[in-house]
Amino acid sequence: VGGSSSRSRGFAGTTALGANVLKLTEPAKDLLPGVDVFIFDCDGVIWRGDSVIDGIPETLAKLRALGKKMYFVTNNSTKSRAGYKKKFDSLGLDVPAEEIFSSSFAAAAYLEQTKFKDTGKKVYVVGEVGIQEELDLIGVPHFGGPEDGDKVPDMGPGCKVEHDEDVGAVVVGFDRNVNYYKIQYAQLCINENPGCEFIATNLDAVTHLTDAQEWAGNGSMVGAIKGCTGREPTVVGKPSPLMIDYLCDKLGLDRGRICMVGDRLDTDILFGTDNGLKSLLVLSGVTTEEKLLGQENTITPDYYADSIVDFFVDENAKVEATA
**Active site amino acids:** 36
Nearest to 257 by CA among 231, 276, 273, 236: 276
99 exposure class (CB count in 10 Å sphere: 0-12, 13-18, 19+): middle
Handedness of CA 123, 128, 131, 137 (dihedral sign): positive
Q: Are strands 51-52 and 69-74 parallel, antiparallel or unpaired?
A: unpaired
* Residues in CB range of 302: below 8 A, 6 or more apart: 22, 259, 278, 279, 280
Contact 262, 268 (CB under 8 A): yes
Handedness of CA 197, 203, 205, 208 (dihedral sign): negative
